[in-house]
Amino acid sequence: MAKISGNAVVGQSGGPTAAINATLAGVISGCLSAGFEKIYGMRNGIEGLLNEDFIDLKNYFSSPDCKELTSLSHTPAAALGSCRKKLKDDEMAAKMYEIFEKYDISYFFYIGGNDSMDAVAKLSDYAQRNPDLRKMHFIGVPKTIDNDLVLTDHTPGFGSAAKYIAASMQEMVKDCAVYKTRAVTIVEIMGRDAGWLTASAGLANAVGGSGPDLIYLPETAFSEDDFIDSLNNLFENGEKPYIVVAVSEGIRDKNGNYVAEAAMSGQVDSFGHKYLSGTGKYLENLVRDRIGCKVRSVEINILQRCAGHLLSKTDIDESLKVGKGAVDIALSGESGKMAAYERKTICGKYSCNIVAMDVKLIANEIKKVPAEFINENGNGITDACVEYLKPLVLGECEIEYKDGLPYHFSF
Amino acid sequence: MAKISGNAVVGQSGGPTAAINATLAGVISGCLSAGFEKIYGMRNGIEGLLNEDFIDLKNYFSSPDCKELTSLSHTPAAALGSCRKKLKDDEMAAKMYEIFEKYDISYFFYIGGNDSMDAVAKLSDYAQRNPDLRKMHFIGVPKTIDNDLVLTDHTPGFGSAAKYIAASMQEMVKDCAVYKTRAVTIVEIMGRDAGWLTASAGLANAVGGSGPDLIYLPETAFSEDDFIDSLNNLFENGEKPYIVVAVSEGIRDKNGNYVAEAAMSGQVDSFGHKYLSGTGKYLENLVRDRIGCKVRSVEINILQRCAGHLLSKTDIDESLKVGKGAVDIALSGESGKMAAYERKTICGKYSCNIVAMDVKLIANEIKKVPAEFINENGNGITDACVEYLKPLVLGECEIEYKDGLPYHFSF
């Protein structure tokens, strides 16, 4: 193995997922295999980098396949901590370069979503404009339950969230089925701009289980009248007294206004995203007013992004692989790249390779659910969508339990 | 084996749980072992009985340990359907006796909570007042995630709900821990009158994991001022920027009024229970007003009672056992009894026997969390509570998966 020049640093950013620690485990494993002298972990992303708040990861993980890395990969949320800090300007980048010099860091791995890729893009842009600075390798590693990053077939963390949502929906449908009274249950699922998670609620129907009757994504204009018509139609012509609806938090009307606009606080988060709440509750009140039957709404809330007790093995295996792949990409001399998933389906058999994509083309883009994945009425998913989703939720991880509860790694 | 006189009927009632089908599997298994000629399942509890809407259970289950019974025992919610119908008067009981005659039924098993035990109590009372009627064996089998039935150490379904809540809390605490900003997360857990489920949220802390910082049960008078003081104290003197609170939906102030009284609709269900909603949301607004930090509320909602993907093996094994035990109690000649759990702890080793208890002493009573299980400040649980809860969540079931999702039995 060629001698590596400099040390590595890795950080996590953005919202927690059930798989972001598996990706961290992959990066650490890759770095241990590569023989880095020092592998630093930034505490709370670039906030920790700027404060020189580092963990010496070799103190925790002795070999590329030690059992602590397996524990880490089954632990939800960001073990190193996260931040919402944006890389704002050249001044901040210059400050980071001082720290890279001080700690002899040449390899920078940042695991996160859209905004994290923006940070990697800005750092590599800064490097290009300042060719006299030390040679750095800035590599982004994807993470988001939302599955809305472009140039990657899917994102680490999505498969586990999708599995949890599909399994929980199936259970809730069973729960709703016990009574003979007319009732509507509305389940609100995360997704501001892209409906991937809500689409996955439909998986149970497609594989012979029981899923929701209606599915509404942000990609289709939502009509309150059509919604009420669909419910009435199901009550009159369907065979069941209960109806279950899966709905994205971010559904909008034909003018692009959030359906629950009135219920929203109007606050924005530090990235300028509108804070959403109350779509399920809004529709619950609508059904009560317009139909008058028993109705309730359920918000799966943060459980859908941190349910480490129900992981997709495919997702966790791939999340480890993309972490290791990111190290390989860096060692091949690249910078300003994101390690991405490329799907191969040969004779119906799914596989997934790691490829390097230009991070500039990824940051600030959103991959929406394509039209061919949504049914004609805009209230369900198609077979093509099921074919896309199905391999991503396959397999279960062997979770370690202690005293009846999942055992979690922590620093 | 002595020849059994007459057939058996079994039904499910009340809210769904993750273990009520395991109890049904136990009753069916026991009846198959006993050699009943016919084993009827009532569809939707006594509603189905009165409508003669029966399933011939021997068509689905061939032997006392067939694999379909295992599938049934891992399927959440009531597979036979449930109802909220009350046994109102002698007229209804007389109608039932006509049906018992018609179908030659002498053994009646009813799986449910408080209200179902009331039905069994009324039927056996009716039998006592009408000694010339056919000889019947009315046996109640407990079921409730709330753990609030008296004369039984705990209830089937509670252990799995407690495990799900403790595991989900642990995951949510991990989720909350990723940022460095001050934040309060309030998790609302089911429990109108008894705080058993909310208490179980504290299990993770006790076994070396991460659980909530504050726990509020309906058994202790809730003070808004004390709550805000506790939060401020934790922010000032604690080591973490985030605080996680577990709260029962039914917490009340010192005058016995629900804390979220104003937020409630005032509607009552068909048993006259007050419908509760919004305790978490109410406290969220209180914290926003009085402290002004980032705050959110999460309602675990129906997921806590139907999460068949995360079962306590102890709970499922015992739920099967209590179903079989109910058949044994009936065959011994008893009527008007509930099959109950009796805990034995010998040299620190937990075990659980099935005993017969008078159903009249159980119906309409509520078992609350005792004072010695709640800490002095009324905002946490004691070691004695942990010792009580711990054995009930132990062990994991091997769930069958199909296409990445749990496989569920259905009729």
DSSP letter for each residue of B111-124: EESHHHHHHHHHHH
Please give the helix or strand (H or E) that residue A113 lies within, else none: none
User: By the 8 A CB rule, do A220 and A375 touch?
Assistant: no
> What does the angle CA B15 – CA B116 – CA A209 come to, to the nearest 5 degrees?
35
Q: What's the pLDDT band for B2 if we cut at 50, 70, 90?
A: low
- The pLDDT assigned to A208 comes to 80
Interchain contact, B307 vs A394, CB within 8 Å? no
Q: Which of B207, B210, B405 sits opposite A203 (nearest CB)?
A: B405
Q: Cα dihedral sign for A83, A88, A93, A96? A: negative
- The pLDDT assigned to B277 comes to 53
Three-state secondary structure call for residue B349: strand
User: By the 8 A CB rule, do A247 and A187 touch?
Assistant: yes
Q: Which of B174, B395, B406 sits opposite A404 (nearest CB)?
A: B395
The model's pLDDT over A234-249, given as tens digits with 9 standing for 90+, comes to 999 988 999 999 999 9
Please give the helix or strand (H or E) that residue A164 lies within, else none: helix A158-176
* Cα diameter, chain B: 74
Question: Which residues from B are below 8 Å from A408, CB to CB?
Answer: 170, 174, 209-210
The model's pLDDT over B210-262, given as tens digits with 9 standing for 90+, comes to 899 999 999 999 999 999 999 999 999 988 999 999 999 999 999 999 888 75
Which range (A30-34, A267-271, B99-103, B398-402) has the least confidence? A267-271
Interchain contact, A180 vs B396, CB within 8 Å? no
- pLDDT of residue A269 exceeding 50, the answer is no
Interchain contact, A309 vs B305, CB within 8 Å? no
Tell me how many residue pairs between chain A and chain B have CB atoms under 8 A apart: 179
- The residues of A annotated as belonging to the active site are 146
* d(C-alpha A324, C-alpha B9), whole Å: 59
* d(C-alpha A288, C-alpha A20), whole Å: 40
* d(C-alpha B354, C-alpha A198), whole Å: 44
User: By the 8 A CB rule, do A107 and A140 touch?
Assistant: no
* d(C-alpha A225, C-alpha A231), whole Å: 10
Three-state secondary structure call for residue B158: helix
- The side-by-side arrangement of strands in the sheet containing B214-216 is B214-216, B242-248, B183-189, B294-299
- The side-by-side arrangement of strands in the sheet containing A183-189 is A214-216, A242-248, A183-189, A294-299
Share of chain A above pLDDT 90, in %: 88
- pLDDT of residue A154 exceeding 90, the answer is yes
Min Cα distance A82 → chain B (Å) is 5
Q: Which of A172, A179, A298 sits opposite B83 (nearest CB)?
A: A179
User: By the 8 A CB rule, do B159 and B322 touch?
Assistant: no
- The pLDDT assigned to B274 comes to 42
The percent of chain A in helix, strand and coil, each rounded to the nearest 5, is: 40, 20, 40
The model's pLDDT over B166-184, given as tens digits with 9 standing for 90+, comes to 999 999 999 999 999 999 9
Interchain contact, B310 vs A306, CB within 8 Å? no
Residue B208 Cα to chain centre, angstroms: 26
Q: Determine which of A171, A200, A304, A407 to mutate to test the interface with B (most B C-beta atoms within 10 Å).
A: A171
* d(C-alpha A11, C-alpha A7), whole Å: 14
Which range (A80-94, A260-274, B191-205) has the least confidence? A260-274
What does the pLDDT average to over B337-360? Answer: 96
- The pLDDT assigned to A277 comes to 53
What does the pLDDT average to over A34-58? Answer: 97
Q: From residue A249, give the alpha-carbon distance in Å to each of A275, A277, A401, B137, B231.
A: 10, 7, 33, 52, 30
Interchain contact, A180 vs B47, CB within 8 Å? yes
Share of chain B above pLDDT 90, in %: 88
Question: Which residues from A are below 8 Å from B47, CB to CB?
Answer: 180
* d(C-alpha A93, C-alpha A299), whole Å: 39
Residues 6 or more apart whose CB falls under 8 angstroms from that of A327 comprise A8, A26, A27, A30, A31, A33, A34, A107, A109, A139
Interchain contact, A405 vs B170, CB within 8 Å? yes
Q: From residue B202, give the alpha-carbon distance in Å to each of A27, A396, B110, B213.
A: 34, 27, 32, 9
Interchain contact, B403 vs A308, CB within 8 Å? no
User: By the 8 A CB rule, do B77 and A171 touch?
Assistant: yes
Residues 6 or more apart whose CB falls under 8 angstroms from that of A355 comprise A339, A340, A341, A342
Q: Determine which of A301, A312, A396 to mutate to test the interface with B (most B C-beta atoms within 10 Å).
A: A301
> To the nearest whole number, what is the mean pLDDT of chain A?
94
* d(C-alpha B67, C-alpha B283), whole Å: 47
- pLDDT of residue B264 exceeding 90, the answer is no
How many H helices and E strands in chain B? Answer: 13, 13
Q: Which two tokens stand for residue A290?
A: 């317009």
Min Cα distance A10 → chain B (Å) is 15
Interchain contact, A75 vs B305, CB within 8 Å? no
Question: Which residues from B are below 8 Å from A50, CB to CB?
Answer: none
> What does the angle CA B167 – CA B168 – CA B171 come to, to the nearest 5 degrees?
90
- pLDDT of residue B325 exceeding 90, the answer is yes
Question: Which residues from A are below 8 Å from B315, CB to CB?
Answer: none
Question: Which residues from A are below 8 Å from B404, CB to CB?
Answer: 163, 166, 203, 207, 312, 390, 393-395
Q: Which of A179, A180, A302 sits opposite B175 (nearest CB)?
A: A302
pTM comes to: 0.96
Nearest CA in chain A to B409: A209
Min Cα distance B215 → chain A (Å) is 19
Alpha helices in B177-245 (DSSP H): 196-200, 203-206, 224-237
- The pLDDT assigned to B273 comes to 45
- The pLDDT assigned to B265 comes to 45
Given the residues B115, B118, B146, B315, select the one marked as catalytic: B146
- The pLDDT assigned to A80 comes to 98
Question: Which residues from A are below 8 Å from B171, CB to CB?
Answer: 76-77, 303, 306-309, 406
Interchain contact, A401 vs B396, CB within 8 Å? yes
User: By the 8 A CB rule, do A322 and A142 touch?
Assistant: yes
- Taking the CB of residue B284, how many other CB atoms lie within 10 A of it? 20
Question: Which residues from B are below 8 Å from A312, CB to CB?
Answer: 404
- The pLDDT assigned to B266 comes to 52
Three-state secondary structure call for residue A246: strand
Cross-strand pairs, B350 = B345
The model's pLDDT over B47-73, given as tens digits with 9 standing for 90+, comes to 999 999 999 999 999 999 999 999 999
Min Cα distance A245 → chain B (Å) is 15
Residues 6 or more apart whose CB falls under 8 angstroms from that of B284 comprise B186, B295, B296, B297
Q: Which of B75, B153, B157 is nearest to B116 (CA)?
A: B157
Three-state secondary structure call for residue A368: coil
What does the pLDDT average to over A124-146? Answer: 97
Task: Round to the nearest angstrom and report the end-to-end CA distance of chain B.
Answer: 30
Three-state secondary structure call for residue B188: strand
Nearest CA in chain B to A393: B404
Q: Which of B77, B209, B401 sits opposite A175 (nearest CB)?
A: B77
Interchain contact, A306 vs B403, CB within 8 Å? no
Q: What's the pLDDT band for A206 if we cut at 50, 70, 90?
A: confident
> What does the angle CA A350 – CA A353 – CA A358 come to, to the nearest 5 degrees?
135
ipTM: 0.95
Question: Which residues from A are below 8 Å from B16, CB to CB?
Answer: 174-175, 178
